Amino acid sequence: MNWQQAVERTVTGLGYDLVDCERGLRGLLCVYIDRTPGVVYPTGPGEFITVEDCEQVTRQLQRVLEVEGCDYERLEVSSPGLDRPLRRLDDFVRYAGSEIDLTLKVVFQGRKKYRGALRVVGDDPAAGLELVFQEGKESHVLGFVLDEVRDARLVPVVDFKRGSRRDAAAGGATQESGGHEE
């Protein structure tokens, strides 16, 4: 089993959503997790990743990666941040109604980058998604499918008077640890 499979199996086995995992410089292994809607977590209620969530996943990953013989120097487990990437169809469905930044793989009507409200079309999201965006005073709708997307991210919403849609814990929860050497 490779390190990516070990990470995915461990994170999803603990009930979290694996947003991304990547190797960085000098043996850094970064794992980005999110809470799954409807799951009750032992670290407490709420929809946002906490430091305790990151600690729990870090401890379990350290054990699994050692048993699997995966080589790394440091392990960092954190939330995906305020500008959470949307990669899978489930992500787009989960965040329908949210404002997103969308970058297409191919230029459409003179541009690749759009910002607008995400909508799911009909009963089958795989058949199509829409982005409702403003150009001047006019509202436009861009239909797209997942295969046409190079990058999609939530637009951070911060209200300094009332907090944000994604509270401070979501933007900054991180647990870092030393790693395992072969």
Q: What distance in Å separates the CA atoms of residue 58 and residue 65, rounded to the nearest whole number?
A: 10
Predicted model pTM: 0.79
- 74 and 8 in a common domain: yes
Q: What CATH code is carried by the domain that includes residue 145?
A: 2.30.30.100
Note the pLDDT tens digit of each residue in 157-182.
Answer: 887 776 545 444 344 455 555 554 43
Q: What distance in Å separates the CA atoms of residue 7 and residue 3, rounded to the nearest whole number?
A: 6
- Count how many domains the chain has: 2
- 168 and 112 in a common domain: no
- 75 and 13 in a common domain: yes
- 175 and 121 in a common domain: no
- Residue range(s) defining the domain that contains residue 8: 3-82+160-180
User: Cα(first)–Cα(last) distance of the chain, in Å?
Assistant: 16
Note the pLDDT tens digit of each residue in 90-128.
Answer: 999 999 999 999 999 999 989 999 999 999 988 887 778
